């Protein structure tokens, strides 16, 4: 997989939203929602993007699909720089890059029938289908597990899980190469969540799709991803294949995230050793200097407040941005006697 050219690569991507004040809308600051993010996505894989609210994961998704324009860096899709393409030039690209949204209630137009919603991509892109759009739409509905006879129904006649399937059907209509799913299951009930996760996996195998899945739920991300990137305050702090990230996380933040997830095992709660972070995520308007995690990190030292750690590869494909990584190979010697509070 990795010897191929990446389908999507992102270099040092930035998005700073200006904060203005006064009569002349003078810029007084910037919300650094995404602040120098680089990663690649290869064909056929799933990259998971996790982090807490405000870490910039959704903005990253929107920048990659160019729903927002980056203020810095580069987005390359299939070898083509799309960072600053105009809307007109982007339109043909939308066929190859689609998005699944979080909320199946607000992402579907309540006045349009399912047929109109799922058929819209064909009409917008001016694509001719062999047996008409209706037939094509019904095929897709069937593919995502909906009844093709529901073609003329409206979104309110469906349950949350079914609506999310409609959203997925719309995404799949033009057989895209890359799908960005922003919290695809977080609005759904547990039993329905599992159905949609399985559906996404089946579709990936069947249609050879590539996913970027953005989610805050670490267990869902582990289940569907091949590689996982952890974000904190606009930066990627750790990126690795799923197995090494979950089995041997190196960044203290990843460790803290994993240990904070409640485990459905009443006996384990007593014996589990935990890392408890104090406080909340700082504001991206005024992020801490150097390592952004140092204000909450129990391993922080002087250097963390002055020198920003680069995202370095410490073992095969496992990159981490930390001066004192845990579970690190011996070469990157750092005293690993963290007093876990």
Partner 1 sequence: MSFLDVKDLKIHFPTDDGLVRAVDGLTFSVERGRTLGIVGESGSGKSVTSLGILGLHKGGRARISGEILLDGQDLVAMSAEQVRGLRGKRMAMIFQDPLSAMHPYYTVGHQIVEAYRIHNDVSKQVARKHAVDLLGRVGIPEPGRRVDSYPHEFSGGMRQRAMIAMALSCDPELLIADEPTTALDVTVQAQILDLMRDLQREFNSALIIITHDLGVVAELSDDILVMYAGKCVEYGDAEDIFYRPEHPYTWGLLGSMPRLDREPTERLLPIKGSPPSLINVPPGCAFHPRCPYAERTEGRASTEVPDLAPTERGHLVRCHMPRTERRALWENEIKPVLETQ
Q: Which residues bind partner 1 (CB under 8 A)?
A: 52-53, 159-162, 189-195, 197-198, 201, 216, 218-220, 222-223, 242, 246, 256-269, 274, 276-278, 280-281
In whole angstroms, what is the distance from residue 148 CA to residue 235 CA?
A: 43
Q: Could you say which DSSP state residue 310 is in?
A: P
Least distance to partner 1 from the beta carbon of 149, Å? 17
Least distance to partner 1 from the beta carbon of 204, Å? 13
In whole angstroms, what is the distance from residue 338 CA to residue 326 CA?
A: 9
Least distance to partner 1 from the beta carbon of 310, Å? 24
Residue 210, Cβ neighbours under 10 Å: how many?
Answer: 21
Q: Which is nearer to partner 1, 66 or 292 (CB)?
A: 292
How much of the chain is in helix, strand and coil states, percent to nearest 5? Answer: 30, 25, 45
Q: Could you say which DSSP state residue 159 is in?
A: -
Q: Which is nearer to partner 1, 193 or 210 (CB)?
A: 193
Strand, coil or helix: 19: strand
Least distance to partner 1 from the beta carbon of 210, Å? 19
- What is the DSSP track for 205-229? HHHT-EEEEEES-HHHHHHH-SEEE
Q: Which is nearer to partner 1, 96 or 201 (CB)?
A: 201
**229 close to 47: Cβ distance less than 8 angstroms:** yes
Q: Which is nearer to partner 1, 26 or 270 (CB)?
A: 270
Least distance to partner 1 from the beta carbon of 156, Å? 13
In whole angstroms, what is the distance from residue 142 CA to residue 149 CA?
A: 9
Strand-pair partners of 179: 98, 211
Q: How far is CA 338 from the centre of its chain?
A: 30
Q: Which is nearer to partner 1, 110 or 266 (CB)?
A: 266
Q: Which is nearer to partner 1, 192 or 334 (CB)?
A: 192
Q: Which is nearer to partner 1, 98 or 254 (CB)?
A: 254
In whole angstroms, what is the distance from residue 296 CA to residue 310 CA?
A: 19
Q: Which is nearer to partner 1, 98 or 162 (CB)?
A: 162
In whole angstroms, what is the distance from residue 212 CA to residue 147 CA?
A: 28
Nearest alpha-carbon partner for 319 in 241, 256, 208, 247: 241
According to DSSP, the β-strands at 178-182 and 210-215 are parallel
Least distance to partner 1 from the beta carbon of 259, Å? 8
Helix axes 87-94 and 114-125, enclosed angle (nearest 10) = 120
Least distance to partner 1 from the beta carbon of 207, Å? 18
Nearest alpha-carbon partner for 209 in 161, 241, 175: 175
Q: Which is nearer to partner 1, 85 or 192 (CB)?
A: 192
Least distance to partner 1 from the beta carbon of 167, Å? 16
Least distance to partner 1 from the beta carbon of 114, Å? 17
């Amino acid at each position: 997989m990795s010897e191929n050219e990446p389908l999507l690569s992102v270099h040092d991507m930035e998005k700073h939203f200006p904060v203005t004040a006064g009569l002349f809308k003078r810029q007084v600051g910037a919300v650094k929602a995404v602040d120098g993010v680089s990663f690649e996505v290869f064909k056929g894989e799933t990259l998971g993007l996790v982090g807490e609210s405000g870490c910039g994961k959704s903005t990253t998704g929107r920048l990659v699909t160019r729903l927002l324009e980056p203020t810095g860096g580069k987005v390359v899709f299939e070898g083509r720089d799309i960072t600053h393409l105009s809307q007109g030039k982007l339109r043909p690209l939308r066929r190859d890059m689609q998005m699944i949204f979080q909320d199946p209630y607000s992402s579907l137009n309540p006045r349009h029938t399912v047929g109109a919603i799922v058929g819209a991509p064909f009409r917008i892109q001016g694509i001719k289908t062999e047996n008409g759009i209706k037939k094509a739409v019904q095929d897709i509905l069937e593919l995502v597990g909906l009844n093709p006879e529901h073609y003329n129904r409206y979104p309110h006649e469906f349950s949350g899980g079914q609506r999310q399937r409609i959203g997925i059907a719309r995404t799949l209509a033009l057989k895209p190469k890359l799908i960005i799913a922003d919290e695809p299951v977080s609005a759904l009930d547990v039993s329905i969540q599992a159905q949609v996760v399985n559906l996404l996996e089946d579709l990936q195998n069947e249609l050879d799709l590539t996913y970027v899945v953005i989610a805050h739920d670490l267990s869902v991300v582990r289940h569907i991803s091949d590689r996982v990137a952890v974000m904190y305050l606009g930066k990627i702090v750790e990126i690795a294949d799923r197995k090494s990230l979950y089995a041997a996380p190196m960044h203290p933040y990843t460790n803290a995230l994993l240990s904070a997830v409640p485990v459905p095992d009443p006996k384990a709660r007593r014996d589990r050793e935990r890392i408890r972070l104090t406080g909340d995520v700082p504001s991206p308007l005024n992020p801490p200097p150097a390592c952004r995690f140092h204000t909450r990190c129990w391993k922080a030292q002087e250097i963390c407040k002055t020198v920003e750690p680069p995202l370095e590869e410490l073992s095969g494909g496992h990159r981490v941005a930390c001066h004192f990584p845990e579970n690190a190979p011996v070469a990157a010697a750092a005293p690993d006697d963290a007093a876990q509070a």
